[in-house]
Amino acid sequence: MSTATVEKIEAIQLDIPFSQYGPPAGFGGTNWTTANYLIVAVTASDGIVGYGEAFGYNAIPATRAALEKTVAPLLLGKPCENIGACMAALEKPLHIFGRSGPVQYALSGLDIALWDMAGKRAGISVARMLGHGGRGGVRAYASLLKAGEAKPLQKVCVALAEEGHTAIKLHETEPGLAIAAREALGPAADLMLDVNCAWDVPGAREAAGRLVPARLKWLEEPVWPPENVAGLLQVSGIGPEIAAGENCANAVAFDELASSAALAYLQPSVTKVGGISAFLRIGHLAAVRGKRLAPHSPYFGPGLLATLQMAAVFADIEMVEYFGVRLEAPIFGGIELPDDRGILAIPDGPGLGADPDPDVMRRYRAN
């Protein structure tokens, strides 16, 4: 039997309108009205199509250009069944263009698509290919956009709790807002805070002390810049446990984070760090170094399904991040949405477990 080769690589941008409980907000200096995702569809010579997702959001134009003009031409016509060899053949010649950023994001999307394809070829899920499976679901935590004021934030928290969510992550920079959210949620819910590297070290130390009444499960990326591991160490131990890693460039770069006493949680982002292959290396590193995994995954596309497959592989993933908005149309027909207990089902079909809805792909594809 001949080895399958890559026949086609397609970048598909989806812009899906969403609604939310809170005021208009977004990231990267813009307010978002649509959730934008870059789907990577890889077709092999045996007819199998694998779907991946490359980061993302405001960076999609740059990632798409890197994929289409720089990365994809190197893979077309090449064998694709040996994922490790396939990715190594891309990573080595492309490393001069950056081990993070658009090229790395494009590689991440391709890696996820190749794993999806491999699972479909084998007729089992990615998790079962890796010797795991059977975990039916994992608790979701709703990851909110910034509210900026106590009353709107408390309203959002109450509404999500009434929908069944038992864990919520805030994106606020004022400690008092986290305390207000805790007051609205009561003592039982898990509450996390991501400040997106907003503070310098003295400011983070002061804020960590003020955050004690919020009883946070973790405080995420409290210092600027995100690579400031020494600064994280100065903040740890004052208040909440520390989480970081969504901006870590690649699997190798996680070694410093995993080696530091500052962090309790490592947060690889499968669409940024190198796909499933890199996530697996980071997951095993976390186990060796005694760190817990809390994946960064505010996605609705294949990036979310890939993260769910990793939750089936790594049983210590207690929760999976879920973008706390309501899409006009779900990409996978709704299987990627939490149930009324706040649980995300882990799809057990071949590959990532499901394919994008072709009608949604047609309706929301960006020109």
Q: Which helix (H) or strand (E) holds 131?
A: none
300, 324 contact by CB (below 8 A): no
Q: How far apart are CA 190 and CA 11, in angstroms?
A: 37
The 10s digit of each residue's pLDDT in 269-300 is: 999 999 999 999 999 999 999 999 999 999 99
Domain positions in the chain: 6-123, 128-363
Strand partners, 18: 327
Domains 6-123 and 128-363 share a fold: no
Query: Does a cis peptide bond (omega within 30 degrees of 0) precede residue 225?
Result: yes
Query: Does a cis peptide bond (omega within 30 degrees of 0) precede residue 47?
Result: no
Tokens of 24: 């208009």
The CATH fold of domain 128-363: TIM Barrel (3.20.20)
- At position 116, the amino acid (one-letter code) is D
* φ and ψ at residue 147, rounded to 5 degrees: -95, -45
> Which residue is it, tokens 């969510």?
165
**DSSP letter, residue 270:** T
- Of 94, 92, 91, the C-alpha closest to 69 is 94
Instruction: Label residue 83 exposed, middle or buried (CB < 10 Å: 0-12, 13-18, 19+).
Output: middle
Q: Which helix (H) or strand (E) holds 71?
A: none
Tokens of 48: 């199998």
Length of the chain: 367
147 CA to centre of own chain? 21
Q: Tens digit of pLDDT per residue, the chain (367 long)?
A: 579 999 999 999 999 999 987 788 888 888 899 999 999 999 999 999 999 999 989 999 999 999 999 999 999 999 999 999 999 999 999 999 989 999 999 999 999 999 999 999 999 999 999 999 889 999 999 999 999 999 999 999 999 999 999 999 999 999 999 999 999 999 999 999 999 999 999 999 999 999 999 999 999 999 999 999 999 999 999 999 999 999 999 999 999 999 999 999 999 999 999 999 999 999 999 999 999 999 999 999 999 999 999 999 999 999 999 999 999 999 999 999 999 999 999 999 999 999 999 999 999 999 7
Q: How far is CA 185 from CA 14, 166, 315, in A?
A: 34, 9, 27
Query: Does a cis peptide bond (omega within 30 degrees of 0) precede residue 209?
Result: no
**DSSP letter, residue 66:** I
Q: Does domain 6-123 have CATH number 3.30.390.10?
A: yes
